[in-house]
Amino acid sequence: MDKFEKYIRNEREAFDAEEPNEQVWERISASLDAKQQANKQVRLVPITRIWQMAAVFTGLIVCMITFQVYYNSKNNKIIANNKSHIETIALENINPELAEAEQFYFTQIEQKSQEVKKFYSEGIKTDSEADKYMRELDLAYKELKKELSTNSNELVISEMVRNLQIRIDLLNQQLEVLKEIEKIKEAKKGKNL
């Protein structure tokens, strides 16, 4: 042991004899209490705000989902009513010649569509623009058919026939491109062997 430690041990009673005033301990205690109160308040405020924001956010999501479900069910009913109205239009009653032409063109379109699907199943595809254009033509045809039920006009009939012819032309062009792609792939296979 060194001299300092010996001195502290010998004089320990003299060091412990003096105690701080009672007011000092009260001020320290009050200071600690104030710090603890400040820490508690800071922790509680953000938690309550987070819960409030979560409740508002949850309420908004529930309202949005409810509105979306209601809106979709209403639109689906309207679309179903329009679709059933369009599908029930019998061309035989309006224009028998157009009904025969429609049957002929739909048969051609179905055959060519099957050929295109055959290429697609073999992994030979074109861009999706042709498919998109076919869907647009289908929607336009349905609108023309709806128009025909209210107004049996020669212009509407000629546009319906033109729509069907455009579909067949589009499918023919798509088939030519697919056949050309198939030839190119076969030529590449032949070179690789």
pLDDT digits (tens, 9 = 90+) for 104-119: 888 888 888 888 888 7
Q: Full-prediction pTM beyond 0.95? A: no
Nearest-CA neighbor of 102 among 145, 136, 139?
A: 145
Instruction: Compute the average pLDDT of residues 85-97.
Output: 62
Q: Average pLDDT of the chain?
A: 77
What is the per-residue DSSP string for 44-60? HHHHHHHHHHHHHHHHH
How many CB atoms are located within 10 Å of the residue 143 CB? 14
Pairwise CA distance, residues 79 & 75, whole Å: 6
Instruction: Dump pLDDT digits (tens) for 165-188.
Output: 999 998 888 888 888 888 888 888
Type and span of the H or E element at 93: helix 91-94
